Amino acid sequence: MPRTCDIFCNVIDNYGDIGVSWRLARQLAKEFGVTVQLWVDDLASFARLCPDADVALDSQHCRGVEIRLWRNAFPEVLPAALVIEAFGCKMPATYLAAMAQQEMPPVWINLEYLSAEDWVEGCHKLPSPKPPLTRYFFFPGFTKKTGGLLLERDLLARRDAFLGDTLQQQAFWRAIGIEVPAAGTLKISLFSYENAALAVLFDAWATGAQAVLCLVPEGRILPQVAHYFAEGTGEVTSYSRGNLTVCVLPFVAQENYDELLWACDINFVRGEDSCVRAQWAGKPFIWQIYPQHDAVHWQKLQAFLDLYTRHLAPAARESVQGLWKMWNGSQPAGGEWERFAAQQGELNLCAMAWARELSQNTLALNLLAFFQEIGRMRAFEIDEQ
């Protein structure tokens, strides 16, 4: 095992990149005893995920990890044994120079964005020589030939305990200030970027036969929610129309987000981190992928849909594909929600089976195994010399 690890994160979309980096840092420290420094260039965004953090401090310890402010004027530090460059952020030149001066250079990994595309398997673990250093590309993914997904050792056991314990569930609803929903209420979480399809979705819920409770964590979608109900955002925390009730939640700390997903029947998520957590929740979910200017996100979305729905019956597969594409703006609305809701029984079974399948391939374990693999390779090269 590496004794030390430095993770570098350049915050781009507020919570996605730092969300993944923070989870990885905590897991390496807590479960494997690695001394981790997380270098982050935006402490304000980090503090939303970790309320314990103090944005005024350049260095501080939170949850077993040392958080360091990544300034342009980078300090002189001793590089860690394992260096993780999150999502292609540009490493400080002085740190790279220090890495090159080590007798045994660190294992340098570029942790890439998550994708289900076929080419990922062929690029996973590929080296990129930058003499005297070598950077390795490490791809999270959904198959055994990729790096897998972040999964804490006890997460699925905690999920199952929550789902089987009425008292835990009641405590969750009390903690967020909402009465326990009546039997038969469809509970939905909605974590979203701005979305032109929101009104269509709300209309379907408001006019449907089933009561719907939609929980919306603070975020970019709130102005659209208020506009739909023709009210200002202000201090409004609850809206209703027909059979739809929408409750706005304060921004959820990272450790508490899983319980929100577990407590709901269906989860709308965005970006990478919440998408992965929704899969561990074992509930049907709808992913809003981060749009890219060259439209390559459509290929990524379809690649995941093909993999995720491959074991579903045709009607269920078409309902998932239709709702996801409508929510992501690639096709006009026309009854997608109703078709999706009609398949919920099969989708529930699929979601749990999918989580079990993914749990056999986890990112932190794979990263550490790769670190050892590089160590053995270097030792062999030294022996050969």
Provide the annotated active-site residues.
Answer: 17, 272
Q: Give the number of other Cβ atoms within 10 Å of residue 130's Cβ.
A: 12
- Phi and psi at residue 212, to the nearest 5°: -125, 130
Distance of CA 265 to CAs 80, 239, 329, 351, Å? 43, 20, 23, 11
Residue 291 to residue 351: CA distance in whole angstroms: 25
Kindly give the residue spans of alpha helices, DSSP state H, lying in 150-309.
Answer: 155-163, 166-175, 198-207, 222-228, 254-263, 273-281, 297-308
109 close to 84: Cβ distance less than 8 angstroms: yes
| Cα 30 to Cα 150: distance, rounded to the nearest angstrom | 14
Q: Based on the number of CB atoms within 10 Å of its own CB, is 54 exposed (0-12), middle (13-18) or buried (19 or more)?
A: exposed
Q: Is 133 exposed, middle or buried (0-12, 13-18, 19+ CB in 10 A)?
A: middle
64: left (phi over 0), alpha (psi -120 to 50) or beta: left
